[in-house]
Amino acid sequence: MSQLSGRRLYYTINAVAGLAIFFFGYDQGMMGGVNTAPDYVRVMKLGYSTYEGPSEGWVATITEPTRQGGIVSIYYFGTLIGCLIGGILGDRLGRIRTMVLGSLWVLVGAALQCSAQNMAWMLCARVVNGIGTGHLNAIVPVWSAEVATHTSRGAFIAMEFTLNIFGVVVAYWLEFGLGFVADGNTQVRWRFPIAFQILPVLAFMACLPMMPESPRWLVKMGRDDEARAILGRLRSEDGTAEAPQAVMEYEDIVSAVGLEKENSGRNSYISMFFGRNDGGLHIARRVQLSVWLQIVQEWVGIAAITVYAPTIFAQAGYGPRKSQWLSGLNDITYMLSTLVAVLTIDRLGRRIGLWWGAVGQGISLILAGAFSRLLKDNPEKASQYGGAAALFVFMYTFIFGATWLTIPWVYPTETFPLEVRAKGNAFGVFGWSIGNGWLTLLNPVMFSRIGENTLHVFGAINFLSIPLVWAFYPETANRTLEEMDYLFQSDSPFVWDEEEHFRKWKEENEKNREVNRIASRKADMVESPDSKEE
């Protein structure tokens, strides 16, 4: 693939990165079906199974929900460790090598999981798998952001997240189909789906050696000639390093690297978190924005809907098989909604996407909770109230896929300086791991204690997120990665002050560029033979 350039190279990188993101979605979606497999429940001692006839097959009943939740949530402990390791390696070894190492961790973890014979074995395997996933989550979006153009960076990553949810869809329907084999009471029902994740990871690893390294990381490491060659391939159809767009971008990267290296003492996670020696670049502020955006992403309700949607479908009078069909259809709607993000994330910007997403999600959750309450109080009207609750479940999922799914993953890849960008994105994955692990354990307790009012709690959090985004999260769409340092140089954390500081810098920078252009033209006129003859 060394001869590819321009759009062909651009889309090839997008597809290869998409393999890793597909695996990520598949890996998350897979455990939903594994947890309901009767043989898995028996091996892990989570409960018992009963035969419900030819139409339903074997159905598992969980008597140890804490053990079940522990197996699922310990994976996020692994991703938390993996993202921190991946952030360090990504900045030191490069994006490509770190992704290869993460893939190796995943392969080992997947092999251990699909061969697990008891709970202790499974717990260790989940941690190993999580470490590999953390590596990939920390680096793949960064690699994508660093090769993309500033006007299509969001769409570039959003297209990968379409494959992410496609992974969820594949996991769901694969496990649904295996539920019909021997009435669902076989080892294949859960061991094969776990093993299946190895295939996209192997394909990803096979492609990586042919992929270009991030030009920004190469400049940081002093490998300028390689960086210029790769930028030429990315920004021009003929692959020339002298293409105007490639030259201008290279100069901006060099300038940003020079600014950042003046304060190299901020490289450690601790220095970043507390903002030590950051030379006024306010790294700690960016860390907080990344961590909390990912935590809030989980608290706007997606984990609750994932858990509660089958219950709503069942209470509406649908049988287990039909509830499964509806859950699978909801996943397909989820996948299609990510295409809206591809079209809007750069055009409307990150802030507007988070705003309208929060409003739509909040309304959907509150109404889904209200109709669920009516469904409980009026079982004779199950078809009407249950159908309405199911509609708002679908609506919530669609809006989340179009907005809050993608934007919190894009934002940390854009806001950090090149020198610590991999570590910066690792902080985002750190927040995602905390939010996911926390709610994986908390959701069952909330639904057990307050039932459908859980949806009202998450609905309210959506509306609370609106002033948070308005006040503290500046727009990053259609700005180059190198411009972010100047956006966050404002001493005030409020968006309006940051935007004013950026506007002044932009005006000054344009004046300087114009002065340099005029000086360059005058120098050319003095040196030209025609001017000497005159």
Q: Using the 8-state DSSP alphabet, how is residue 316 labeled?
A: T
Question: Contact 153/145 with Cβ under 8 angstroms?
Answer: yes
- Helix, strand, coil percentages, rounded to 5, for the chain: 80, 0, 20
Same domain, 4 and 82: yes
- Residue 292 covered by a domain: yes
Selected residue with higher pLDDT from 56 and 106: 106
* Phi, psi at 48, each rounded to 5°: -145, 170
Same domain, 300 and 388: yes
Same domain, 301 and 403: yes
> In this model, does residue 491 exceed pLDDT 50?
yes
- Residue 271 covered by a domain: no
Same domain, 75 and 86: yes
DSSP one-letter string for 468-518: HHHHH----TT--GGGHHHHTTSSS-SHHHHHHHHHHHHHHHHHHHHHHHH
Per the structure block, which two tokens stand in for 307? 């858990």
pLDDT tens digit sequence for 66-81: 788 788 888 988 998 9
pLDDT tens digit sequence for 181-208: 888 888 999 999 999 999 999 999 999 9
> Which of the four pLDDT bands, split at 50, 70 and 90, describes residue 529?
low
- Residue 419 covered by a domain: yes
> Which of the four pLDDT bands, split at 50, 70 and 90, describes residue 11?
confident
Same domain, 227 and 193: no
Closest CA to 341 of 477, 461, 460, 455: 477
Report the Cα–Cα distance between both ends of the chain, in Å, rounded. Answer: 52
Q: What is the pLDDT of residue 266?
A: 60
pLDDT tens digit sequence for 442-472: 877 788 788 888 899 999 999 999 999 999 9
> In this model, does residue 534 exceed pLDDT 50?
no
Selected residue with higher pLDDT from 258 and 328: 328
> In this model, does residue 304 exceed pLDDT 70?
yes
Selected residue with higher pLDDT from 516 and 475: 475
CATH code of residue 94: 1.20.1250.20
Q: What is the pLDDT of residue 464?
A: 96
Sequence-ordered list of residues with C-beta below 8 angstroms from that of 329, at least 6 positions apart, any chain = none
> In this model, does residue 528 exceed pLDDT 70?
no
Rounded Cα–Cα distance for residues 259 and 264 (Å)? 10
The whole domain housing 352 covers 279-478
Same domain, 390 and 325: yes
Q: Span 55-64, mean pLDDT?
A: 80
Domain count, the chain: 3
Q: Which of 313-317, 359-363, 432-436 has the highest mean pLDDT?
A: 359-363
How far, in whole angstroms, is CA 282 from its chain's centroid?
24
Rounded Cα–Cα distance for residues 62 and 45 (Å)? 9
Same domain, 315 and 433: yes
Domain end position, chosen among 266, 295, 330: 266
- Residue 517 covered by a domain: no
Q: Using the 8-state DSSP alphabet, how is residue 302 labeled?
A: I
Per the structure block, which two tokens stand in for 43? 């091996």
> Which of the four pLDDT bands, split at 50, 70 and 90, describes residue 316?
low
Rounded Cα–Cα distance for residues 32 and 128 (Å)? 19
Q: Span 355-377, mean pLDDT?
A: 92
- Residue 485 covered by a domain: no
Going through 270-362 in order, the beta strands assigned E by DSSP cover: none
Same domain, 205 and 300: no
Question: Contact 130/76 with Cβ under 8 angstroms?
Answer: yes
- Residue 507 covered by a domain: no
Domain end position, chosen among 213, 238, 256: 213
Same domain, 262 and 128: no
pLDDT tens digit sequence for 241-256: 888 888 888 888 888 7
Same domain, 303 and 437: yes
Same domain, 145 and 290: no
- Residue 273 covered by a domain: no
Same domain, 59 and 164: yes
Closest CA to 102 of 1, 7, 17, 181: 17
- Residue 515 covered by a domain: no
> Which of the four pLDDT bands, split at 50, 70 and 90, describes residue 262?
low
